[in-house]
């Protein structure tokens, strides 16, 4: 038996995973409170799914430690598995069975007694609003219905911790919002701790009590979405400039006490400004004095995309494109004669 650590639902210390010399998860540490809805936010390839797979005992860490529901993922694997539910990115349902039969099979695998599992199956079907579709073959389910059934399956054995890996991936906007509502509902009503991975900024913002932003296998920021955004300070003023950037324009802006930060990205100048609406006229005056033409201006509150840009220097979209290109290059090297 390993040493139990029951202070948190999840406790991770210096967790690392390497594949063939490449570091997928790089010495990350964090805790998840009991009953918390915690998010791992980052682009594809950032190490989120690898982290989930280590916590779910599907991968053995290269180094570091992790406790889930009080159990050591290295020495108490069976105890961990009995304490968790997992909803993977890829559908793992049997399309030849009905929704109810999928849940029945899963609950039998967890050793639930007949009366207990029948009652529990009805509860989780009602929770995800599939009671009227329970006896329909899964092959006839829509994408959203399949995702809801998978969530129900992950809950049927009453886990302490539920892992959701990209829970709304591939769903349309309306269905995605419904899934978010189901996730929040089960977190509150089932009192289950949830850790989810996502690359959707709005999903993390809407759902999570706290978010760890993951980039290249490292956690670069961790706090509540509100605190992460508030830490940037002020409003975001995005300027599209005719004729490109001007160093003189930027230098003059930087002398103003109301300007907190400037970021250049993809043809746009993003300014972090206190009380932005008061200073727009002055920004245009400075631009005119430096011979700069502003073609478009936009004012908004900071988003998690701005937080990601602040900590990584790139947007999530840029990072995903970079990760995709690296993956293609690695594939080319592997298949090169």
Three-state SS at 78: helix
pLDDT at 188 over 50: yes
CA–centroid distance for 319 within its chain: 15
pLDDT at 271 over 60: yes
pLDDT at 330 over 60: no
Query: Which residues on neighbouring strands pair with residue 186, listed in sequence order?
Result: none
Q: Which two tokens stand for residue 268?
A: 């746009």
- Three-state SS letters, 324-336: HHHHHHHHHHHHC
pLDDT at 169 over 80: yes
Q: Where are the beta strands (DSSP E) in the chain?
A: 10-19, 22-32, 37-41, 63-68, 71-72, 84-87, 161-165, 193-198, 210-215, 218-223, 235-242, 259-265, 268-273, 293-300
Question: How far apart (Å, rounded) are the C-alpha atoms in residues 280 and 6?
Answer: 53
Kindly report which listed range (14-23, 76-85, 87-96) carries the lowest average pLDDT score.
87-96
Place of tokens 């509860």: 123
Confidence of residue 209 (pLDDT cuts 50, 70, 90): very high
Mean pLDDT of 279-288: 94
What tens digit of pLDDT does each residue of 45-81 get? Answer: 899 999 999 999 999 999 999 999 999 999 999 999 9
Task: Sheet containing 293-300: give its strands across.
Answer: 259-265, 268-273, 235-242, 293-300
> What does the longest C-alpha to C-alpha distance in the chain come to?
79
What tens digit of pLDDT does each residue of 113-129 get? Answer: 999 999 999 999 998 99
Question: What is this structure's pTM?
Answer: 0.82
Structural domains for the chain: 10-228 (3.40.50.300), 233-301 (3.30.70.100)
């Amino acid at each position: 038996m390993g040493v139990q650590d029951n202070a948190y639902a999840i406790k991770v210390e210096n967790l690392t995973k390497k594949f063939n010399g490449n570091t997928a998860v790089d010495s990350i540490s964090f805790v998840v409170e009991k009953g918390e809805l915690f998010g791992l936010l980052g682009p594809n390839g950032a190490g989120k799914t690898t982290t989930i797979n280590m916590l779910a005992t599907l991968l053995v860490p290269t180094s570091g430690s992790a406790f889930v529901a009080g159990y050591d993922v290295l020495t108490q694997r069976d105890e961990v598995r009995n304490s968790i539910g997992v909803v993977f990115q890829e559908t793992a349902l049997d399309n030849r069975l009905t929704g109810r039969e999928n849940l029945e099979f899963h609950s039998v695998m967890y050793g639930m007694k007949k009366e207990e599992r029948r009652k529990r199956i009805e509860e989780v079907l009602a929770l995800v609003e599939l009671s009227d579709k329970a006896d329909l073959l899964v092959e006839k389910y829509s994408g959203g219905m399949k995702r809801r059934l998978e969530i129900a399956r992950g809950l049927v054995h009453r886990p302490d911790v539920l892992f959701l890996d990209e829970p709304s991936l591939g769903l349309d906007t309306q269905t995605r919002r419904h899934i978010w509502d189901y996730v929040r509902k089960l977190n509150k009503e089932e009192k289950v701790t949830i850790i989810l991975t996502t690359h959707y900024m709005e999903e993390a913002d809407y759902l999570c009590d706290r978010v760890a932003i993951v980039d290249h296998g490292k956690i670069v920021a961790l706090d509540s979405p509100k605190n992460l955004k508030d830490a940037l300070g002020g409003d975001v003023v995005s300027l599209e400039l005719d004729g490109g950037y001007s160093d003189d324009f930027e230098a003059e802006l930087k002398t103003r006490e109301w300007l907190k930060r400037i970021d250049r990205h993809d043809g746009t100048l993003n300014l972090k400004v206190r009380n932005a609406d008061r200073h727009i006229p002055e920004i245009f005056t400075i631009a005119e004095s430096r011979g700069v033409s502003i073609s478009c201006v936009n004012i908004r509150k900071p988003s998690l995309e701005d937080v990601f840009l602040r900590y990584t220097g790139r947007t999530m979209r840029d990072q995903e494109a970079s990760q995709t290109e690296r993956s293609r290059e690695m594939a080319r090297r592997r298949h090169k004669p």
